[in-house]
Structure 1
Amino acid sequence: MEFSTEFDARIGHGDVTLTERDVALLRAIDDHGSINAAATSLGRSYSRAQQRIVELEEVFGDLVARKRGGSGGGGSHLTDLARDLLSRYDRLRAEFSGVAETEETVLDGRLVEREGELATVETRAGTLRALVPEVDSDGEGGDRLRLTLRADAVTLQNPSRSPDPDRTSARNRLDGTVLAIDAGESVALVTVDVGGEVSLSALVTVASVEKLNLHRGTPVVASFKATATRGVPSAYSSD
């Protein structure tokens, strides 16, 4: 089973992933006592909700116990397996959110080009694309920027399996090596040396650490979207 924390707490296996949307459906079934009522409360179609439950059960096992109508009435309720899955999801999300909200990478750079709020910025680690609001500035230093990047926005990949930049929305890509791994119960904070005396923080799952065989010195590619990279003129930063 694979755990992922890219932008959201997710639990999955193969091509099927339990997402926040699926969690909402399972909890609605628990609240309303039927798939039909749950789908209605969420503004979804019954057929699609039913199909999604079937897809999830093919991977995780029986999640919803269904009872046909009769003298006692019909309905559906969650199995113990489903409740255990929801508990694991909650634990993963809590751990993920706690680390993601506090860990970020800060990079100093120089503005070299701008297209509206999207800017090209030179940093010691390399040239990056970032969102930089247009701010009126006078005098020297107007092109100096401070970029911030949350750890949960960074994806780590094996260099030999990293997708072509033209085939992914994560256009920012930096080659590096693992410096340290601080692993918790489900997620791990990985520090990566990306050159120029710059270290980058990435929040990944413990399962991903094992799958990628990450350890100190492992070469990796750190990728992240321009929209996840935020910049402000250095004069406007909090330091």
Structure 2
Amino acid sequence: MTDDTPRPTFDAQLVAGGVAFDARDAQLLHAIDEEGSLNAAASSLGRSYAHAQRRIVELEAEFGELVCRERGGSSGGGSTVTECAWELLQQFRRLTAESSGLTEVDETVLDGTVLERDGEFGLVETDTGIVRALVPPGIENVEVFVRSDVITLYSPKSAPRGDETSARNQFEGTVRDIERGERIARVTVGTDDSSPFLALVTTTSVERLGLEPGTEVVVSFKATATRAVPRSSLK
């Protein structure tokens, strides 16, 4: 006998004014980031360019500038997502995690040594590699914290490079484990023998990237979302 008892479902939404930002909108912003243009993003999602453009305009009227557009030129122009867009995506990912039952936001912790500083930022040498993070002044030995909800996963062939992204921390790794919720999955990514990265991604992203144990991915996260603290303060 099957259980046909109706169960409530909840679709995560962020509402501003009369506009609701939902999973389709998050998917569109991620596609723009990956494809480098609104036209290519709409095509990859099977949506019309005109509809995607109208939707971005609607969202920006309430949430602020989400897409920076470059027109013409020898490269033909393109589009990139803004800091405002990344903050919105992070809020949405957190909300979706809560509605999916994956309410705990994990942190990857890396031991490191500060190599050099540039204002509030520093380059920290870790077992995983060089990490750019927010570093307090006057310390050398640190622990670097990376929240699972600020990590973005890419396939190796689609990962942006160099000046194409503001997420300057990028590391190649292999998926070790996937814990699925209704709409959010917790993905463990190993990089050599160092501490694994823990990432919260949508189940749509899991399917789109074909993620499963053994899949090669690129872990990406911003320096502004990465903090270092004195190692001694945690002992």
Q: Which residue of 2 aligns with 1:27?
A: none
- Summarize deviations over 1:160-179 as a string: whole Å, max 9, x none: 11111211000000000000
| Superposition map of 1:116-127 within 5 A | 116-127=119-130
Q: Which residue of 2 aligns with 1:161?
A: 158
Q: Which residue of 1 aligns with 2:131?
A: 128
Q: One-letter code of the match for 1:134?
A: P
Structure-1 separation of matches of 2:12 and 2:163: 23
**1:90 Cα deviation after fit:** 10
- Summarize deviations over 1:118-177 as a string: whole Å, max 9, x none: 000000000010001214xxxxxx521101010010000000111112110000000000
2:157 match: secondary structure: helix
Q: Which residue of 2 aligns with 1:11?
A: 23
Aligned-CA RMSD value:
3.4
Match status 1:229 vs 2:226: yes
| Superposition map of 1:152-231 within 5 A | 152-231=149-228
Q: Which residue of 2 aligns with 1:66?
A: none
Q: Is the 8 A contact 2:125 2:131 kept in 1?
A: yes
Q: Which residue of 1 aligns with 2:8?
A: none
Q: One-letter code of the match for 2:98?
A: A
Match status 1:52 vs 2:67: no
CA separation of 1:144 and 1:97: change in aligned 2, threshold 3 A: farther
Q: One-letter code of the match for 2:194?
A: E
| Superposition map of 1:89-104 within 5 A | 92=96, 94-95=98-99, 99=103, 101-104=104-107
Structure-2 separation of matches of 1:120 and 1:182: 32
Structure 2 unaligned runs (5+)? 1-10, 14-20, 31-53, 62-92
CA separation of 1:167 and 1:90: change in aligned 2, threshold 3 A: closer
Q: Is the 8 A contact 1:176 1:192 kept in 2?
A: yes
Give the TM-score, by structure 1 length.
0.59
2:124 match: secondary structure: strand
Dislocated runs of 4+, deviation >6 Å = none
Q: Which residue of 1 aligns with 2:65?
A: none
CA separation of 1:15 and 1:183: change in aligned 2, threshold 3 A: closer
Q: One-letter code of the match for 1:214?
A: L
* 1:111 paired residue among 109, 114, 118: 114
Q: Is the 8 A contact 1:103 1:201 kept in 2?
A: yes
Q: Is the 8 A contact 2:113 2:126 kept in 1?
A: yes
- Summarize deviations over 1:39-70 as a string: whole Å, max 9, x none: xxxxxxxxx99x738x9xxxxxxxxxxxxxxx
Q: Is the 8 A contact 1:124 1:195 kept in 2?
A: no
Computing the radius of gyration from Cα coordinates, the structure with the larger value is 1
Structure-1 separation of matches of 2:187 and 2:94: 22
1:196 match: secondary structure: coil
Q: Is the 8 A contact 2:173 2:192 kept in 1?
A: yes
CA separation of 1:225 and 1:91: change in aligned 2, threshold 3 A: closer
Structure-2 separation of matches of 1:132 and 1:97: 33
Match status 1:147 vs 2:144: yes
Q: One-letter code of the match for 1:234?
A: R
Equivalent pairs counted in the alignment come to 162
Give the TM-score, by structure 2 length.
0.60
Structure-2 separation of matches of 1:179 and 1:4: 28
Q: Is the 8 A contact 1:4 1:204 kept in 2?
A: no
